[in-house]
């Protein structure tokens, strides 16, 4: 999501999502983003998922399960092609209600992913309490990975943990071929980052997918993240 400001140009979400959450505008914004993402993804190649980030405010102030069901039905998109990403901060808000909602979504076939894995104290506890199908290691661990042995040890440990829990692992923030090789060797199932593509508008997604397939299609031992966010 980008804010096209008349004088400041394109403003990234890191600069306005906090304000939207404080005013409550994040609820209609988030619901619109979810519905539009499903509509866009319907026209993408089979097997390509669309990933949507959720806000704690959004979950607290709407019936998320019904919003997701309606968005999928309106677009005619299979639940297996939708991925919902939440951070641990989301789980701190009425965790009983949130857990019930996530389990219903999981039963529906939607992938629930834990974003920014490794950046919060209670993350490990979250893995046993909530039905995550995927964890995304925070980009801070991947940056300059090949130059820091301690980061490499942590990255490998997190991939091993996810594997033992039968949860897919994703390395965020991959920006170089060396970082891609490192997370591949560490055992990650998927990777994402600017090495594959900078953010593009919805109309350019199919072209970007084709370019990535041409560039990385021969890497049979490691799948790049087939999820467009």
| Shared domain check, 184 and 124 | no
Residues 62 and 46 in one domain: yes
Six-digit token pair at 162? 């996810």
Residues 39 and 144 in one domain: no
pLDDT for res 116 = 83
Query: Does 59 share its domain with 170?
Result: no
For residues 86 and 172, membership in a common domain is answered with no
What pLDDT does residue 226 have?
47
Q: Which range marks the domain in which residue 193 is found?
A: 139-208
Q: Is 122 found in the same domain as 54?
A: yes
Question: Cβ distance 177 to 195 under 8 Å?
Answer: yes
Whole-number Å distance between alpha carbons of 133 and 100: 15
Identify whether the C-beta of residue 91 lies closer than 8 Å to the C-beta of residue 126: yes
226 located within any domain:
no
Report yes or no on 213 lying in a domain.
Answer: no
Single residue among 106, 132, 158 that ends a domain in this structure = 132
Q: What is the pLDDT along the chain (229 residues), one digit of tens a residue?
A: 888 899 999 998 889 999 999 999 999 999 999 999 999 999 998 889 999 999 988 888 889 999 999 999 999 999 999 999 988 777 776 677 888 888 999 999 999 999 888 776 556 777 877 878 999 998 989 988 888 888 889 999 999 999 999 999 999 999 999 999 999 999 999 999 999 999 888 889 989 988 888 887 644 344 444 454 5
Q: Is 224 part of a structural domain of the chain?
A: no
Q: In sequence order, which residues have a C-beta less than 8 Å from that of residue 161 and are 6 or more positions away?
A: 127
163 and 103 in a common domain: no
pLDDT for the residue numbered 221: 42
pLDDT of residue 93: 66
**155 and 118: one domain?**
no
pLDDT at 62: 86
Residues 152 and 169 in one domain: yes
Q: How many domains does the chain have?
A: 2
Distances (CA, A) of 126 to 33, 111, 145, 164: 26, 16, 25, 15
The pLDDT, as a whole number, for residue 218 is: 46
Domain boundary among 78, 97, 132: 132
96, with CB counted inside 10 A (0-12, 13-18, 19+), is: exposed
In angstroms, rounded to a whole number, what is the distance separating the alpha carbons of residues 179 and 171?
9
pTM over 0.75: yes
Cβ atoms of 219 and 188 within 8 Å: the answer is: no
Do residues 165 and 110 both lie within one domain? no
Q: In this structure, is residue 40 part of a structural domain?
A: yes
Give the model's pLDDT for residue 47: 84
Q: Same domain for 117 and 152? A: no
pLDDT at 224: 44
Residues 116 and 183 in one domain: no
């Amino acid at each position: 999501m980008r804010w096209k400001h008349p004088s400041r140009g394109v403003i990234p979400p890191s600069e306005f999502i906090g304000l939207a959450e404080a005013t409550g505008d994040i609820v209609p914004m988030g619901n619109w983003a979810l519905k539009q993402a499903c509509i866009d993804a319907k026209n993408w190649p089979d097997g390509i998922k669309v990933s949507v980030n959720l806000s704690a405010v959004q979950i607290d102030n709407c019936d998320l399960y019904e919003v997701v069901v309606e968005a999928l039905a309106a677009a005619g998109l299979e639940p297996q092609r939708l991925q919902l990403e939440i951070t641990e901060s989301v789980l701190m808000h009425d965790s009983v209600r949130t857990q019930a909602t996530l389990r219903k979504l999981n039963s529906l076939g939607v992938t629930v992913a834990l974003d920014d894995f490794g950046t919060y104290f209670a993350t490990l506890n979250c893995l046993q309490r909530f039905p995550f199908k995927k964890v995304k290691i925070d980009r801070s661990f991947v940056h300059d990975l090949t130059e820091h042995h301690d980061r490499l040890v942590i990255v490998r440990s997190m991939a091993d943990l996810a594997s033992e829990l039968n949860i897919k692992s994703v390395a965020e923030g991959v920006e170089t071929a060396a970082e891609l090789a490192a997370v591949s060797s560490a055992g990650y199932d998927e990777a994402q980052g600017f090495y594959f593509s900078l953010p593009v508008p919805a109309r350019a997604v199919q072209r970007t997918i084709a370019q990535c397939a041409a560039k990385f299609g021969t890497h049979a031992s490691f799948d790049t993240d087939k999820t467009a966010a």
